Structures are given as C-alpha cells and as structure tokens.
Chains A and B, each alone.
Chain A
Amino acid sequence: MSFKKSFGYRGAHPDDYKYITNKNSISFTDVPDRVYIPVIQHIGAPAKIVVSVGQVVEEGQLIAEADGFVSANIHSSIPGTVAAIEERYISVGKKSKTIVIELNGEFRKSGKNIHLTDWKSMTKDQLLKKIKDYGIVGMGGATFPTHVKLTIPNGKNVDTLIINGAECEPYITGDHRLMIDRSEDLLEGINIINKILDVRNIYIGIESNKKDAIKRLKTLCLNRYNIKVVPLRVKYPQGDEKQIIKAITNRVVQVDQLPSDVGVIVQNVATVIAIKEAIVNDKPLIDRIVTVSGSGVKEPKNLKVKIGTLLKEVIEECGGLKEDVKKVVIGGPMMGFAQYDLEVPVTKGCSAVVALSEDDYTDFIPNGICLNCGKCINACAFGLAPTVINKYIKYNLFDKAAESGLMYCKECGACAWSCPARIPLVQNFRLGKDIYRKLTEKKKKNKG
C-alpha cells in the first residue's frame, strides 16, 4: 500500500456508505411538467429577474441576471411559459423569489447535434465571459460563482490548479461517477481552465475509496497530459478547499487568506465538466448530478436532474421512499439540511438527497451537557475549539465567540458528528453567525 496524503492529524472518520450507489452509472430523469427556479442559488447577491409572468422562454434562456460581480446568471432548464413568480422556501430553510415555468414547446438543444465551439482559438477574457454568462457556480455545494474564482487579482501568482475529486461527504457519489463516465470531458475541461490560468502544476485529488476512478484517470493521463492524480486518505473533511491544498501541496492557507494567496486554485470535478459543457457545447448550467441514496430510498441512483425539479419528482424517479423513513436531507448527511416537505426544488448546490430510515437515524438528546472531552477539538480541521465557541454562543457572548474564530467555521459538521453528548454544535454555530452578522450590521448603522 502506497503512502496516501492527508491534511494532518485532525478530522473525523464517518462511514462513507458509498457502496450504495458507486456502481450505478448516471441515469436521466423524465422532464418535469413544472420547474421552480429560485433566484438564490449561489453565494452573493440574488439574481435579478428579467422575465415576466406569461412570457414564453426557451431552453437555456436567461431568466435572471447576475446582480453585481459576485452573483451568477440563472437560465431556464426547460422550454415553456412563466406561470408565476412567487416566494417559496428553498432547501436551506430560507425564502426566495422563485420563477415557476410550465413545460411547453420543444427542446432545441438537448439530445441534438450542435456545433462544437473551438475553444483553443478563444482568448482568456472571452472564456471567462462565457463562463460568467452561462451561470457556472462551484458545484461542490458552496456554489461560489466560478468566474470570480478564476479571475485572479493583480499581484497574485497562481502556479497550481487542484481538481477536487475527494468527495469526502458520506453517501454522495456524483463526482465519482462523473470521473469514470465522463473522464474525457473532465480532462478537456481541465485544459480549458489551464488556458485561463496558465499554471505549472495540475493535480487531481481523489480519496482512495474511489479506486476505479483513480485507475481510470491515471491511465488516461499517463502519456497525454501533464496532470498528476493524487490518491488521498479517506478522512472528513478532505474535500474542503483548505484541507485539500494542505494535503497535496503542503501549503497552509491561513484563516483569513484565500487559496489564491498561496498560489492555488481549487475546482470541483462537476464544476470542471460544467465549464466544458458551457464553452464547448454552449450549454448553460441547467442540470446537475444528484445522488439519491440512503436506507430510506427504494432504488438508490445517480441522477441527472434539471435545476428546479421538485424533490418529490426526483424521489419518485427512484421508486419512492420506504415507509419507515425518518429524515430526508438535501446535500449530504454532514452538511445538508433536513427537509419537512418534499416540495422543495433542486438547486445548483444540491449534490445529494439522502433519506434515512429508522436504522440509521439517531435521535437528538435535549440539553446534552458538554463533557469537556475535547473530541470536537480533535475533529475540527480548521483548528477551532468548538466547545469553547459553543459555550460563548450559549451565554450570548457573540463578540467573544467571533474572537475565538466563529466566523471561520465552515459548518462541515465533523465536531457535531464526533460529540458524544450529541450537542447540536453546527446548528448553534449557524445561529451564532446569523446573530453576529446582524449585530455587526447594527453597529455599522449606528456609527454611520
């Protein structure tokens, strides 16, 4: 066994449950009759709606445009008419304006031979503009607009590109299947990004529980490309930007730094393929791979789902839910959000739907008491002390919590997973962050 790289001694080791879906190739869903496309699908300002009720839209037509630099365009995933624009709850538990489109008319692009664009003759700015126009965001779950990430500020020197295929979150196998089923597209996408960034080193980091993907990419890259495939140790949160940089290049990104400060750009596998599709096939980001898995689903699958499809239709595609389902989570069991209602649309950041039956479900202990055992400190890959921060939040000392690094928490869930008292640490941190942000805004207002 060869030596596998990792980010240090911290982190957690949850069971990965990848065996449920990692042999199933990506399958397609039926076209939904109605799609519900929220305008908040990315980090940054919500997109501005540019269509009105009753308007006929085509497949891939721009329906909401980016409002500012850190924002992303949103396109219609089906041809049809705009039936309504309403406020709906989205999967993260907040309300967002949603464009409802009813299916009507024909698909002009999907499944048809279209002219392939020759990207080699395009300039760097043209490529970036196309990525921006086609609304590409980071598909790993954080949904940070990709054009912002690829625009390197003046004075910074980026020499390394890392393709993130770690996929450390349990159950999710979308990136794994993409690396096997569409490895040629992946490599072409990497070349496109390389044209924009012009870097010396390109790595693909893959956790070693995806042996077939590592093997396939290694044989493909052997003679043709200057790309190194790096097997990584299976550990949570290996797929986080900072951790994968530490694991592969041994460079440390400080808490207040960005990856570009140490000369690295990280892109997710699914994002790279979306970039390739946007630039070569002229296809905006209108669908994504969703892993439907867990003990509560009848036929677990990796599905290609149109953005805006309701969760209930996605689950129906997989044979429906079993009777003893206790919880349905969007976006993986560690970082995801539990849903009470299946009438929630799939968004650009929705990487998985996990349904947990009674066997896999553990109940919450109300008023769990901290044992000061320090397991959360060992688990936190970002070097924070979750137990201390949690106590500050409990006693409403938000300034002190922020001093202890509350805002640097990435909500990965490793601390809460390893807590023997089952204290809902991540929930409390989310709450603390929300309140701290509100308080600082208030302070700014009072000053100004």
Chain B
Amino acid sequence: MAISFLLGILIITILGLFLGFGLAFAAKIFHVKIDENVEKIIELLPGVNCGGCGYQGCAVYAEAIVKKEEEINLCAPGGQKVIDEIGSILGKKSVGKVRYVAKIQCLGDDAIALKDYKFNGDEDCYAVSSFFGGEKACKYGCIGKGNCIRVCPVNAIKRDKLNRVWIDSDECIGCERCLTVCPTKVIKMFPIDGGYFVACSSPEMGKKVKEVCKKGCIGCKICEKITGDPDRIIVVDNLAKINYNSKVDLRSAALKCPADTIVPIKNQKLYMKNNKEYKIEN
C-alpha cells in the first residue's frame, strides 16, 4: 500500500522535473524579443481601434511606429498629449495635425422638414434613399435612419427626440467611418478651430428650400455682406461656403443668419440646447 503510494509520488515528481526542464529550454530557444517601446506605446494609445491612422488597430500602429518608423502624429483620438508622450519615449518631436471632426450638414427633423411619405420598413439609410431619394421632400439632406450612429466607435453621434442626427465635437475622434456609410454624403470633415460650419447641403433656389424645410440655407447672402470678406464666406450655387484657411470671425454672421444654419463647430451641443424647440435625449 505504502510502496504504491510512494511510487506514484516519485513518478509524478520525475515527470514534473522532466517537463519543467523541457519548458525552460523551449522558452530560451523560442524566445521572441518584444520591444519594450511597442508595449509602452500600445498602453499610451487610446485603444478605440478606430482605424483613423490607416492601420488595422492601435497595436498594429504602435508596431509600425517602432519598426517602420511611421510618423507619430497620426492618432487623431489621442491628440497632442499622446504625441508628446510617444515622442518622449522615442526621443522624437512632432506637432499634431489639425484635428478634424465630422459634421452633418443638415438640420432638418420631423418638425421642420417636410416629408413626402413615411417609409415602412427596416431602418436603413441606403434602403430609404434608394426609394424616391428619401422620406424628406428635400433630397439633399440627412436621411435620419442612423447608419452613422451604428458605426461610430465612440458613440459621438446623437439623435434628438425629433429624429435629428448630430455629432458632438467633444467626443468625435475624426475616424471618418460615418462618411463611408452615408448614402447622401451629407457628413463632411471640418477643422475643430474653424469656427462655424454651414448646416445645409441643398443647392436649390431659396424659394424651393423654404417650401420644404425651415432650416435651410436660402442663399440670401446676408452672411457674405456682414463678414465683408469673400475669402472667408461666399455664396456659391445658393449655398454659403466657408473657407477654413482664413480666420475671420463669423459670430455676427451666424447670429444674423435668418435660417440659423451657420452653426458653431466646437459648441454644437450648446447650440442644440439653447434652441428651445429641441431637447436632447442623450
């Protein structure tokens, strides 16, 4: 009884020792050198895997920085802070590119934009837009079925109670995913320091725009006159266009806009809240 007991312990011990040495050798022989810097950079990067830098994810980008000497200023969500930290590890210095955020150039919702019909079916922007160009009478605007909301990795895209979709600049990381799923191409990128953007995409004549939507650019040129600088804001094809190379203040023009379509880029949240007609759900 006792012998068989001891024998068992002996066999297990010998086997354990043998396998243990085997593992130790394997670890030595098959050792993969992991660059410390890669691990550090992976920890520094925000980890949202948005793909904005052009790589599949944060880990791949970190490897590319160390091994392929990729530029360190490609991470849009991280901003200047992450660039500085990565720079301190690698001894490099770089300035972040201008941060761009996505904006939906349409303010039409259930209350102010006229609708041609009600779509009976699954909520998908492509499906609706392929059927008579969308529910709204204005065929240039936001379809409002939320394809972009579903692909946003950081939930920066919000929806009102009245089905108006808008993007919060504080949360937007500029990965441009929403641009690819929008069938009407109503989402565009704007520099965060650009001041204001025109929240309408309709190139129709003013009268036609007014018939179908209360918040549409009618091409009245008031903004052009108040600013007095055609390099900054100019009306082309019945639609105001802002040039972001110039830094002239547009505040007075935005306040005077009869349709309220010149919207601040940074504080769209405030703009949406101040407007008493809208209460934000989220």
| Interface residues in chain A, defined as those with a beta carbon under 8 Å from any beta carbon in chain B | 89, 93-95, 337-338, 340-341, 363-364, 366, 424, 427-428, 430-431, 434-435
Contact = CB atoms under 8 A, between A and B. Distances in A.
A434 B117 CA distance: 22
Interface centre among A94, A364, A431, by most chain B C-beta atoms within 10 angstroms, is A431
19 contacts: A89-B132, A89-B133, A93-B131, A93-B133, A94-B130, A338-B120, A340-B116, A340-B132, A341-B132, A363-B120, A366-B123, A424-B121, A427-B121, A427-B122, A428-B127, A430-B130, A431-B126, A431-B127, A434-B130
Given A338-B120, A424-B121, A431-B130, 12 more contacts: A93-B132, A95-B133, A337-B131, A338-B117, A340-B117, A341-B116, A364-B120, A430-B130, A431-B124, A431-B126, A431-B127, A434-B130
Interface in B126-185: 126-127, 130-133
B127 A427 contact: yes
Contacts of A94: 130
Nearest to B126: A431
Contacts of A341: 116, 132
B121 A364 contact: yes
B134 to A, nearest CB: 10
Contacts of B117: 338, 340
Interface residues of B, number: 13
A90 to B, nearest CB: 10
Top 9 closest pairs, chain A to chain B, by CB: A340-B117, A93-B131, A364-B120, A424-B121, A431-B127, A427-B121, A93-B132, A340-B116, A89-B132
A93 B129 CA distance: 9
Interface centre among A94, A338, A427, by most chain B C-beta atoms within 10 angstroms, is A427
Nearest to B135: A340
Interface string B221-251: 0000000000000000000000000000000
Given A340-B117, A341-B116, A428 B122 contact: yes
Contacts of A337: 131
A424 B126 CA distance: 15
A366 B118 CA distance: 13
A364 B19 CA distance: 65
A341 B132 CA distance: 10
Given A340-B117, A424-B121, A435 B126 contact: yes
Contact of A93 (B120, B124, B130): B130
B120 A424 contact: yes
Contacts of B122: 424, 427-428
A435 B124 CA distance: 12
A364 B122 CA distance: 9
A363 B127 CA distance: 18
A401 B174 CA distance: 31
A433 B123 CA distance: 17
A93 B123 CA distance: 17
A309 B99 CA distance: 54
Contacts of B120: 338, 363-364, 424
